[in-house]
């Protein structure tokens, strides 16, 4: 039996693509192994969102070069799509290069590899297909990803994704609902709907559901207790999505709505398709919702042309929104992106300085926000146990990390009793900038 090893870099879409790739390989008689040394086929599912991410991939390819004699090496994902056949020149020990828009052809590509082809590629972006597979290997038995839309039709000036993942393709609502029901029947209670822009979802079948309508339908699938989605794009974000969340507690009260910058003029140079005011209007809808919706975001500092005044606007926006958490990045020049026409005028030091200011400001906001949870009882979906701290770990509906003790089950019992996968009310007793701590008082029924 052929053995494969796979390593995944990048976002949740890549993580889930790998799960589907694993399913495809296992369905063809391959078995997965934990180390490259045991494998005949080494796969790297790669990310090129920032220069560092791409460098990491090439470093890995150099590292494995000596150990990969007699093995087949494949590069999948966004670096594969972006660099294409150039990867064979930089890393001659690679024999497969395929982007995510070609994964439907994986079985065919595997046959080519099995029959000894040395250079196999899947690089076309002209596809209507989404990657739907008969088997998916999901490691977590309680939480599952479910792709509803592939690709991206926006053209943010800094971003490689439209070029690495191809045009937007939505799955039919019937196929999405069918997968959600299957997951619930298999015992998954939490699912995360995935897409580069989930809320640009548009059902291609005659049912013609939009994203909010799809959410409502998924929120009714028997057996599911939590439904999340990521990432939403502000331009296509309509109030009906918030109404759907207000109507159904199964839909988690957390929205990730990346703003990137607080300055309208930078947003316009970024080709983000909304102004600061339009963005804040959407935030107001969330703040006026009946449920307490956690809001998170992505921020880029040091985009070409970002003046001190523009940067100040981003800081002011952080104050105004008071996000529950953010991911923040220094602008990184990417191949073939429209922003290359702008001079990348800020030094690395200045970008780092701005990044530190954003992160310190946000840390303070999170400290203050999280302190409000002390004394509250939060329902936690339990993910695991930390032996070092002797605490159980889990997430609230708002996606806040909670570590807690349980007097009746201080650790997983040797007989197998565990809280993993269950939902418990936890009394929050302490808070920090990135997590809450507390104590559970009841056992799951």
Q: How many CA atoms lie within 13 A of 346 on its CB side?
A: 22
From ligand SAH, ligand SF4, ligand F3S, none, which one binds at residue 48 (CB under 5 to 8 Å depending on kind)?
A: ligand F3S
Encoding tokens for residue 67? 């150990």
Residue 3: CB minimum distance to ligand SAH, A: 33
Q: Are 143 and 192 in contact (CB under 8 A)?
A: yes
DSSP characters over 255-289? EE---B-S-HHHHHHTT-S--HHHHHHHHHHHHTS
Residue 297: CB minimum distance to ligand SAH, A: 8
Quote the CA–CA distance of 368 and 321 in Å, as a whole number. Answer: 13
78 near ligand SF4 (CB under 6 A): no
Q: Which helix (H) or strand (E) holds 320?
A: helix 308-321
162 near ligand SF4 (CB under 6 A): yes
Pairing of strands 41-46, 3-8: parallel
Nearer to ligand F3S, 164 or 325 (CB): 164
Q: Which positions from 128 to 167 touch ligand F3S by CB under 6 A, shown as an x/- string?
A: --------------------------------xx--xx--
**How wide is the angle at C-alpha 377 spanned by C-alphas 244 and 146, nearest 5°?**
40
Q: Are 306 and 263 in contact (CB under 8 A)?
A: yes
Residue 94: CB minimum distance to ligand F3S, A: 18
Give the dihedral of Cα atoms 304, 306, 307, 310; nearest 10 deg.
170
Could you tell me where the DSSP H helices lie in 148-263? 161-165, 173-185, 211-218, 239-247
Choose one: 45-53, 127-135, 138-146, 255-263; the region binding ligand F3S (CB under 6 A).
45-53
Q: Which positions from 12 to 41 touch ligand F3S by CB under 6 A, shown as an x/- string?
A: -xx---------------------------
DSSP characters over 402-422? EEEE-SS-SS--TTS---TT-
152 near ligand SF4 (CB under 6 A): yes
What does the H/E/C string look like for 97-140? Answer: EECHHHHHHHHHHHHHHHCCCCCEEECCCCCCCCCCCCCCCCCC
From ligand F3S, ligand SF4, ligand SAH, none, which one binds at residue 162 (CB under 5 to 8 Å depending on kind)?
A: ligand SF4
From ligand F3S, ligand SF4, ligand SAH, none, which one binds at residue 329 (CB under 5 to 8 Å depending on kind)?
A: ligand SAH
Give 413's strand partners: none
Choose one: 54-62, 153-161, 349-357, 418-426; the region binding ligand SAH (CB under 6 A).
153-161
Encoding tokens for residue 239? 């109030």
User: Which member of 8, 197, 261, 325 binds ligand SF4 (CB under 6 A)?
Assistant: 197
Quote the CA–CA distance of 241 and 285 in Å, as a whole number. Answer: 10
From ligand SAH, ligand F3S, ligand SF4, none, which one binds at residue 334 (CB under 5 to 8 Å depending on kind)?
A: ligand SAH
Nearer to ligand SAH, 250 or 270 (CB): 270
Give 394's strand partners: 382, 402
Q: Which residues in the 228-287 window bind ligand SF4 by CB under 6 A?
A: 233
49 near ligand F3S (CB under 6 A): yes
- Long-range CB pairs of 394-397, under 8 A, 24+ apart, other chains included: 394/424, 394/426, 396/436, 397/226, 397/249, 397/252, 397/253, 397/254
Residue 302: CB minimum distance to ligand SAH, A: 9
Choose one: 28-36, 47-55, 282-290, 400-408; the region binding ligand F3S (CB under 6 A).
47-55
Nearer to ligand SF4, 161 or 393 (CB): 161
Residue 154: CB minimum distance to ligand SF4, A: 4
Q: Which residues bind ligand SAH (CB under 6 A)?
A: 49-50, 158-159, 161, 196-197, 231, 233, 258, 260, 298, 300, 329, 331-332, 334
Binding residues for ligand F3S, rule: CB under 6 A, are 10-11, 13-14, 47-49, 77-78, 160-161, 164-165
């Amino acid at each position: 039996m052929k053995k494969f090893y796979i390593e995944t870099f990048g976002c949740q879409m890549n993580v889930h693509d790998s799960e589907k790739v694993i399913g495809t390989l296992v369905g063809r008689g391959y078995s997965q192994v934990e180390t490259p040394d045991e494998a005949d086929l080494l796969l790297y599912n790669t990310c090129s969102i920032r220069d560092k991410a791409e460098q990491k991939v090439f470093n890995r390819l150099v590292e494995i070069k000596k150990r990969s004699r007699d093995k087949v090496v494949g590069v999948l994902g966004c670096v594969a799509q972006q660099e294409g056949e150039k990867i064979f020149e930089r890393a001659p020990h690679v024999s497969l290069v395929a982007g995510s828009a070609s994964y439907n052809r994986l079985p065919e590509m595997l046959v080519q590899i099995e029959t000894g082809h040395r250079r196999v590629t899947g690089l076309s972006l002209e596809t209507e297909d989404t990657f739907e597979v008969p088997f998916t290997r999901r490691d977590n038995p309680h939480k599952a990803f479910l792709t509803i839309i592939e690709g991206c039709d926006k053209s943010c000036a800094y971003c490689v994704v439209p070029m690495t993942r191809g045009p937007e393709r939505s799955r039919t609502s019937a196929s999405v609902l069918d997968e959600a029901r299957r997951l619930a029947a298999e015992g998954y209670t939490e699912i995360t709907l995935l897409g580069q822009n989930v809320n640009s979802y548009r059902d291609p079948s005659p049912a013609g559901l939009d994203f909010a309508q799809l959410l409502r339908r998924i929120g009714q699938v028997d057996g599911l207790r939590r439904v999340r989605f990521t990432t939403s794009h502000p331009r296509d974000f309509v109030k009906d999505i918030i109404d759907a969340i207000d109507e159904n507690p199964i839909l988690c009260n957390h929205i990730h709505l990346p703003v990137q910058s607080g300055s309208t003029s930078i947003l316009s140079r970024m080709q983000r398709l909304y102004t600061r005011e339009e963005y804040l209007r959407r935030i107001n809808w969330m703040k006026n919702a009946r449920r307490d919706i956690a809001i998170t975001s992505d921020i880029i500092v040091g985009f070409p042309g970002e003046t001190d005044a523009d940067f100040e606007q981003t800081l002011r926006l952080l104050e105004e929104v008071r996000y529950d958490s953010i991911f923040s990045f220094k602008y990184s020049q990417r191949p073939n992106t429209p922003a290359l026409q702008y001079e990348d005028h800020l030094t690395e030091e200045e970008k780092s300085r701005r990044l530190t200011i954003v992160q310190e400001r946000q840390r303070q906001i999170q400290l203050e926000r999280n302190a409000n949870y002390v004394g509250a009882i939060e329902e936690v979906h339990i993910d695991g146990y930390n032996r070092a701290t002797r605490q159980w770990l889990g997430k609230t509906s708002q996606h806040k990390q909670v570590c807690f003790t349980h007097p009746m089950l201080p650790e997983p019992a040797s007989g197998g009793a565990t809280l993993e996968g269950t939902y418990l009310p936890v009394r929050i007793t302490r808070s920090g900038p990135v997590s809450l701590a507390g104590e559970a008082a009841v056992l799951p029924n």
